[in-house]
Amino acid sequence: FSSRLCTNIPKMLDFYSQFNPSPLSIKQFIDFGQNACEKKSFIFLRKELPVRLANIMKEIALLPTNLLGTNSVNQVNDWYLKSFEEVLKFEKMEPTHENLVGFCNQLVQIRNRHSDVVQTMSQGVLELKESQEGYVDQSLETSIQYFLDRLYMSRISIRMLINQHTILFGGREESKGRQIGCLDPACDISSVVKDAYENARFLCDQYYLASPELVINQCNNLDNTLPIRTVYVPSHLYHMLFELFKNSMRAVMELHDETTENLPPIHVLIVCGKEDICVKISDQGGGIPRSQIDQLFKYMYSTAPQPSKSDLHTVPLAGYGYGLPISRLYARYFHGDIVLLSAEGYGTDAVIYLKALSDEANELLPIFNKTSSKFYRATVPTGDWSNQVKQAKKIVLI
């Protein structure tokens, strides 16, 4: 027992949650990765990882009791506690080769432990929904939306730091040619678009026995023949595109469920501007009413009993149902966005915005502070727009 570090975890949580996470830009990831120093990375991560873990763990503790009490949230919280404790073991260690190897292996273990966080939280939301007989009050839904956006953004950022370190220093043969960790300094956007389309199309063909064609156009303000390239994380871009293609294909196939002759193609437009790179995915799948657009990004709304892993291949293009909210987080993580614009009765445009300049593509990280704490205590503020037609005053017959 004496060999175990008698760290007082609650005290360490308070200590590390006082620091704000330090956002890195894509440029910093690239510059560091070009002549990467494992010792410097170790020194940075053994502080930054506990800071990011502690910041989000303090928010988990503030959740409404009916969520905090679910098995799922307890399971996730235990994973975070264990990982927090494991990283702290390296706090005072000398950066010897042996300790650097131990640190790398520890990061791989932590990444694997947290692989099911999204699915586990989704089950927790489902439990909560069912316990409220399907009726969830507005303020509870708002708190859950706020928390899950921050939990998943924090998780994306922690996995990014872990991936960079383990790919750069994990001892595997030199990773793919020009890639720097999980970043591609010259990511060809149209090739990721084609990959995502082909894989979504495969699922679509499997279920609907047909699939819409793809038409890609590029508009490169410099030279329209050159492929549009940017510094980005191809796996993040792929995740967003794959979700959007699944939505569009499902919309088109369900609208044209009689004949699969002349299905309207999905149009993709890639534009490179001075500030933004846009990837617009346009379908003629019939669209949805403007009043329903926000719901597509709600975790509570998009949580339905999930198809188990086995029958995922039989359910039409369905995933965890968290495709859109989490895809938007991937875009927002480096200060981009995903915006949906639907023309009900015709179809929907989904636009992925990326920063064109890598020094503007900074990590967007949740911070645990008074503002975020107050949010969990706040009630829904009364509206400051009159949006109801005045009810005729009730005439009380005396």
Ligand X SMILES: O=S(=O)(c1ccc(O)cc1O)N1Cc2ccccc2C1
The residues that are catalytic are: 239, 243, 246-247
Nearer to ligand X, 168 or 352 (CB): 352
Tell me the C-alpha to C-alpha distance, in Å, between residue 200 and each of 192, 213, 259, 341. 12, 11, 20, 21
**Residues with Cβ within 8 Å of residue 227, at least 6 apart in sequence:** 188, 189, 190, 191, 218
Closest distance between ligand X and the C-beta of residue 321, in Å?
Answer: 12
Are the beta carbons of 151 and 56 closer than 8 angstroms? yes
Nearer to ligand X, 285 or 325 (CB): 285
Contact positions toward ligand X, by CB under 6 A? 244, 247-248, 250-251, 254, 283, 285-288, 296, 340, 342, 348, 350
Burial of 325 (0-12, 13-18, 19+ CB in 10 A): buried
Closest distance between ligand X and the C-beta of residue 317, in Å?
Answer: 8
Nearer to ligand X, 103 or 330 (CB): 330
Nearer to ligand X, 147 or 330 (CB): 330
Alpha-carbon span 25 to 23, nearest angstrom: 7
DSSP letters spanning 199-217: HHHHHHHHHHS----EEEE
Nearer to ligand X, 209 or 392 (CB): 209
Closest distance between ligand X and the C-beta of residue 250, in Å?
Answer: 4
Q: Tokens standing for 117?
A: 């966080």
Nearer to ligand X, 114 or 280 (CB): 280
Closest distance between ligand X and the C-beta of residue 357, in Å?
Answer: 26
Closest distance between ligand X and the C-beta of residue 211, in Å?
Answer: 14
Nearer to ligand X, 125 or 288 (CB): 288
Tell me the C-alpha to C-alpha distance, in Å, between residue 173 and each of 99, 167, 185. 20, 10, 19
DSSP category for residue 272: E
Alpha-carbon span 271 to 248, nearest angstrom: 20
Nearer to ligand X, 118 or 293 (CB): 293
**Residues with Cβ within 8 Å of residue 197, at least 6 apart in sequence:** 214, 241, 245, 266, 268
Closest distance between ligand X and the C-beta of residue 313, in Å?
Answer: 18
Are the beta carbons of 340 and 348 closer than 8 angstroms? yes
Torsion of Cα atoms, 8 then 13 then 15 then 17, to 10° = 180
Closest distance between ligand X and the C-beta of residue 323, in Å?
Answer: 9
Alpha-carbon span 41 to 37, nearest angstrom: 6
- The bridge status of strand 337-343 relative to strand 266-272 is unpaired
Closest distance between ligand X and the C-beta of residue 200, in Å?
Answer: 11
CA-wise closest residue to 268 among 282, 254, 278, 249: 282
Alpha-carbon span 277 to 187, nearest angstrom: 12
First-last CA distance in the chain: 80
Torsion of Cα atoms, 300 then 304 then 305 then 306, to 10° = -100
